Structure 1
Amino acid sequence: MGSTRSKLDDHVYESIAKYTELKRDDIIAWEQRFLQQCDPGSRTMNKEQFCKFYQELRPDENVKRLSENIFRAFDLDGDHGISFSEFLIAYVATTEAPLEHKLRYAFNVYDLDHNSMIDRAEVLFILRAMFQLLGMNDNQLHKYSYEQCADTIMKTLDINEDQCISKEEFIQGLLQDHFLQSLMNPFQNK
């Protein structure tokens, strides 16, 4: 990385290092890679830039459909742009964090309408996106339909039977059901 000086304040490095356990040189390398994707003079990525960057980070997976929702989950302050700090903390949290933290991010990815609940329509979106991520297409699902899978997921995770899955129901259900966890967690370790 040579003599390129980062524009992050020391306290930002300390915060990122504490949260991610990355060394300063690693953070600088990530920052430089991140800033290459931003418009000149900008220190944030818009949704299009982020989706392209995220797909480059996960080239062996078909994350195109999920990347827009991952952008929304990573945009911690809701300003429709992702700063380097937001990106690095969220990316590390979804790749190196404990499973429960990954599932919290996964819930935010799937909560499309931001109402802190996942309904059946969102479950259907999850299924299509995850099957695409896993490289499966509609023809490979001849035995079960998306509708049947959605019904099974709702029955399994919606403990209080209110036709919605809360964040806690989602996390606890996936912690207990390893098959659903492998299906619905886009932040799996390789």
Structure 2
Amino acid sequence: MGNQSAAQKEELKAITRKFKISKSDVKVYQKLFKQHCPKGNHLSRKDFKSVYNQLFPGDCSEFADQMFRTFDTDGDGKVDFLEFLTGLCMTDSDDVNEKIEWAFKMYDVDGNGTISMDEVKKLSMAYYKMIYGYENQEESESVAKELFQLMDKDNDEKITFQEFNDAAKKNSEILNMLFPSPQDEG
């Protein structure tokens, strides 16, 4: 990240401390970032999708859109290295509470503070297309309904953060769908 400001350097130090990342790991992540970053200092949505399409066998467009939205923490329409590094580390974080907060933001596509059945279906469909390479509407809707029922404890057709938090701590599949590993593909 050659031309870092003092604030960026401090933020990088904070990220490396928080996630216990070595300097050599940061260099590996920087290399990966630059490899997919033709504009030099940020990944566009298109570049971000390209990274996902290289990691998974299926169509990653929709899933990568959701990940991009979650990685782009400042909402400027691009992912800089610090956002990229934080997002990657978050997917491997041992801090379950933080991971749940991050996952909730991904499920909450419209950002209204609750998760609807349509949002769960959308994410489930995107996951199937990415992992299996095809759209299986019946299977992904079945999974979405099952997940939604697990989370919507008061049956009000929306999932609050508290409901999501409680359900995610009891059922690892809720988080596993959001943090797939390329080597785990079907």
* TM class by smaller structure: 0.7 to 0.9
- Give the aligned length: 179
Work out which of the residue numbers 158, 165, 169 in structure 1 matches 2:163: 169
Aligned to 1:69: 66
Give 2:126's aligned amino acid: A
Q: Compared with structure 1, are the counterparts of its residues 165 and 38 closer, same or farther at alpha carbon in structure 2 (3 Å cutoff)?
A: same
Letter in 1 for 2:14: S
Partner residue in 1 for 2:47: 49
Indicate yes or no: 2:153 matched with 1:159.
yes
Question: Counterparts of 2:153 and 2:162 in 1: how far apart (Å)?
Answer: 10
**Shift of residue 60 of structure 1?**
5.6
User: Following the alignment from structure 1 to structure 2, what is the Cα–Cα distance between the partners of residues 68 and 140?
Assistant: 19
1:22 corresponding residue in structure 2: 21
How far apart in 1 are the matches of 2:13 and 2:58? 32
The residue type paired with residue 101 of structure 1 is E
Match of 1:187 in 2: 179
SS of match in other structure, 1:80: coil
Larger Rg: 1
> What are the residue-to-residue correspondences of 1:79-118 with 2, within 5 Å?
79-118=76-115
Q: CA deviation at 1:145?
A: 7.5
**Backbone CA RMSD of aligned residues:** 2.8
Q: Percent identity?
A: 22
The separation in 1 between residues aligned to 2:95 and 2:80, in whole angstroms, is 23
Are 2:124 and 2:140, in contact at CA under 8 Å, matched by a contact in 1?
A: no
Distance 1:64 1:97, change over 3 A: farther
CA separation in 2, counterparts of 1:13 and 1:105? 19
> Does the C-alpha gap of structure 1 residues 95 and 145 become closer, same or farther in structure 2, counting only changes over 3 Å?
closer
Residue-by-residue CA offset, 1:27-46 (whole Å, 9 max, x unaligned): 13322331232234x41111
In structure 2, the CA distance between the partners of 1:75 and 1:145, relative to structure 1 (3 Å rule), is closer
Q: Distance in 1 between matches of 2:62 and 2:79?
A: 18
How far, CA to CA, are the matches of 1:177 and 1:29 in structure 2?
32
Q: 1:97 to 1:130 in 2, by over 3 A?
A: same
**In structure 1, what residue type is equivalent to 2:121?**
L
Whole-angstrom CA distance in 2 between matches of 1:126 and 1:93: 18
